[in-house]
Amino acid sequence: MRRLVPYLDTFGAVALAIIWIAPLFFAFWAAFHSTSDAVNFNLFSPWTLDNFRTAWEGAPWLRYFLNTFLLVTVVLIGQFILTTLAGFAFAQVKFPGRDIVFILVLLQLFILPEVLIVENYAMVSRLGLFDTIVGVGMPYMASAFGIFLMRQSFKSVPIELHEAARVEGCSLFGILMRVYVPLAKPTYLAYALVSVSTHWNNFLWPLIVTNSPDTRPLTVGLSIFGAPENGVDISVISAATIMSIAPLLIAFLVFQRQFVQAFLRAGIK
């Protein structure tokens, strides 16, 4: 009995793994077969690229890719700047009211931007940022999670380095840029990966504030492509889906180790 346990383990683990990737696998398979073959599971039917051709012609995917790319870049740059400054203030600058403000920031972890869609939509419109990529990214730039992460990272920097830089005549901002930021590199990397994969996949908010193919990110484009008035074609939808997840998926498979490490770092510190 005891000798059997490892086998059971392996069996369970692999079975679960197969179940877990089955949806992806089937979509992949369907994307390369004609709709009729796909829904009838003709396992030995010929492979085809037609679905990709149809899907590619059906929407401005390049534009969507570019929009998503611009979006995650804008968000990331904004987050880096804002969370670095704020994280540093919370970690190394003493000023009255700091702790209360920090609690307010933590509170924002729970005021999800997703829930405030109505007012945030009104706000973005008021600022003239409706249907712009900056408008899509703006509510996420001052990320409480990022501020928190940076604060933790800056706190672990030895105070001696700070003092040494100060003695050499660096300003506070100079110290931040020369001492703290370089030492927090792994945190930046981790945060970047989490941020990019979050915003690459974000849907509800971009759905609300984008209005044209010129700003629409991939997720919104995919949802519109997948819902024409009169019916869907499973193989074409699968092809579009595979196409739109491919970049992130391939990046993930190649950099798997770093990816997982990054998530670990960002999640638990």
Partner 1 sequence: MSKHASLERRRQAIYGWLLLGPAGVLLTTFAFYPSIATLWSSLFSRGTRRKPAEFVGGENYTDLFADPTFWLVVKNNLIYAAATIPISIIIALAMALWANSKIPAKGFVRTAYFTPTVLPMIAAANLWLFFYTPGLGVLDQIGSLFGLPSVNWLGQPETALWAVIIVTIWKEAGFFMIFYLAALQTIPADLKEAADIEGASRWTYTRRIVLPLLMPTTLFIMVNAMINSVKLIDHLFILTKGGPSDASKLILYYIWEMAFAFFDAPHAAAMTILVLLVLGIIAAIQFLLIDKRTHYQ
Partner 2 sequence: MFFSTHKAAMLAGATALASWGLAADAETELTMYYPIAVGGALTEVVDGIVADFEAENPDIKVNAIYSGNYDDTRVRALSALNSGEPAQLAVMFSIDAYDLIEQDIVVAFDDVISSDEDRAWLDGFYPALMANGKIEGKTWGVPFQRSTIVAYYNKDMFREAGLDPEKAPTSWEELVSMGKALTKDDTYGVMIPSTGYPYWMFQALAIQNGKELMAGDGLTTYFDDPKVVETLDFWKSLSAEHGIMPEGTVEWGTLRQAFLEGQTAMMWHSTGNLTAVKNNASFDFGVAMLPGNERLGSPTGGGNFYLFKDTTDEEKAAALKLIKFMTAPEQAAEWSIKTGYMGVSPAAYETEKLADYTTEFPPALVARNQLEHAVAEFSTFETARVRDGLNNAIQAALTGTKSAADALGEAQAAAERLLKDYQ
> Is there binding between residue 27 and partner 1 (CB under 8 A)?
yes
Q: Site residues for partner 2, window 215-254 (CB under 8 A)? A: 215, 223-225, 227-234, 236
Give first-to-last CA distance, the chain, whole Å: 40
Cα atoms found within 13 Å of the Cα of residue 38, Cβ hemisphere only: 22
Q: How far apart are CA 36 and CA 55, in angstroms?
A: 16
Contact 75, 142 (CB under 8 A): no
Q: What angle do CA 87, 90, 91 make, to 5 degrees?
A: 85
31/233 with CB nearer partner 2:
233
- Residue 132: contacted member of partner 2, partner 1, none (CB under 5 to 8 Å, by partner type): partner 2
* CA distances in angstroms from 237 to 51, 244, 261, listed in the order given: 8, 11, 33
> Of 47, 223, 228, 254, which one interacts with partner 1 (CB under 8 A)?
223
> Is there binding between residue 268 and partner 1 (CB under 8 A)?
yes
> Is there binding between residue 256 and partner 2 (CB under 8 A)?
no
| Shortest distance in whole angstroms from residue 125 CB to partner 2 | 3
Residue length of the chain: 269
Tokens at 3, concatenated: 């000798």
| Shortest distance in whole angstroms from residue 238 CB to partner 2 | 13
Q: How far apart are CA 153 and CA 147, in angstroms?
A: 10
> Is there binding between residue 70 and partner 1 (CB under 8 A)?
no
Tokens at 259, concatenated: 């990816």
| Shortest distance in whole angstroms from residue 130 CB to partner 2 | 4
Contact 17, 24 (CB under 8 A): no
Which part of the chain contacts partner 2 (CB under 8 A), choosing from 17-25, 89-97, 117-125, 245-253?
Answer: 117-125
182/226 with CB nearer partner 1:
226
Q: Site residues for partner 1, window 78-117 (CB under 8 A)? A: 81-83, 85-86, 88-90, 93-96, 98, 101, 104-117
> Is there binding between residue 226 and partner 1 (CB under 8 A)?
yes
Which part of the chain contacts partner 2 (CB under 8 A), choosing from 90-98, 104-112, 126-134, 244-252?
Answer: 126-134
| Shortest distance in whole angstroms from residue 187 CB to partner 1 | 15
Cα dihedral sign for 174, 175, 179, 185? negative
Which part of the chain contacts partner 1 (CB under 8 A), choosing from 51-59, 135-143, 161-169, 183-191?
Answer: 135-143
> Of 56, 66, 208, 213, which one interacts with partner 1 (CB under 8 A)?
208
Residue found under tokens 């999670």: 145
Tokens at 148, concatenated: 């928190």
64-73: string of b/e by CB count within 10 Å (b at 16+)? bbebbbbbbe
| Shortest distance in whole angstroms from residue 9 CB to partner 2 | 40
